Amino acid sequence: MSIHGVLGESTSYPKTYQPDTLYAIPRSMGRNEINWQEDKLQVGVDWWHAFEMSWLNSQGISQMAIARFGIPASSPNIVESKSLKLYLNSLNFTEFDSWETVEQTIAKDLAACVGAEVQVSLFGLDAISSGREADTGFLIAHPQGKCIDQALDNLPGKVELVEHPDASLLAEDVDVSASLDQAEKQYQLYSNLLRSNCPVTNQPDWGTLAIDITTSQNIDEAKLLTYILSFRQHNGFHEQCVEQIFADLSQRYSPSKLMVRAWYTRRGGIDINPCRVSDSSLLPQPSRLVRQ
């Protein structure tokens, strides 16, 4: 009996240290599609967590850790996620004399790939399983604010599947200029229904999206949820999806403050968590949600 299809495909994993496995993708590819002020998309961080981190100590004994990589949104490149997985696997049988050397090596290699300084931290399993999770950001958290996932439940009509994100779904039925003189309000909203597809493999990517916005305009939660659902068949990297949402909300609501953040579920032992803010002072700490 033979196995056909994707289940029969194999991947060759390197068994020796291979930094050239890392594959850079220019951020400009996604930002050119957004067609908005690129400098406003460069404030933020992409946090990556790698849960299958291992290497050898000087005695040849396997070491285990969880890694966090902080890649600045101002970097000219992102790293393709499967290439990162292959790179990390190339460390599995490589000897290092200390944890610090591992951190320094990864930081150097990722910086060379993305074109900017990368923050690398390794956490021992005891550090995140003995009551100190809050200090590391690995304590399972909950998004702040109001979940809008039921905002469409009692409304007539059907949400259609579309091929690409549609910012026109955010449009109000009335003249939005009437709300410009209103006092600003802060909205903290989130949805667990963010879905898009990897543009490389076409595999689905699921995430939780959080929006913290201060604006004088009213936000219709049903319209916002419909807009988020318009990403379901979109082919875009995690970072590009968050930046698209950040750009669309900025143009639609003219906010004085805005944070758009996503926690994506793991694939290949790695999760990606982009965050974009209108001002660096709004940048939160890295965290982990229940689906991660």
Token readout for 5 is 């299809």
DSSP strands (E only) in the chain: 24-26, 44-56, 62-72, 77-79, 119-123, 140-141, 146-147, 185-197, 204-215, 257-264, 270-277, 288-289
Going 71 to 200 to 228 to 272, the CA torsion angle's sign is: negative
Judged on CB neighbours under 10 Å (0-12, 13-18, 19+), 237 is: buried
What distance in Å separates the CA atoms of residue 71 and residue 239, rounded to the nearest whole number?
11
Going 270 to 276 to 281 to 282, the CA torsion angle's sign is: negative
Q: Which of 46, 109, 205, 271 is catalytic?
A: 205
- Tokens 């793991």 correspond to 266
Concerning whether 241 is annotated as a catalytic residue, the answer is no
Q: Which of 147, 149, 198, 220 is catalytic?
A: 198
What distance in Å separates the CA atoms of residue 122 and residue 128, rounded to the nearest whole number?
11
- Tokens 């000087």 correspond to 58
227 phi/psi in degrees, rounded to 5: -65, -45
Concerning whether 113 is annotated as a catalytic residue, the answer is no
Residues labelled as active-site residues: 198, 205
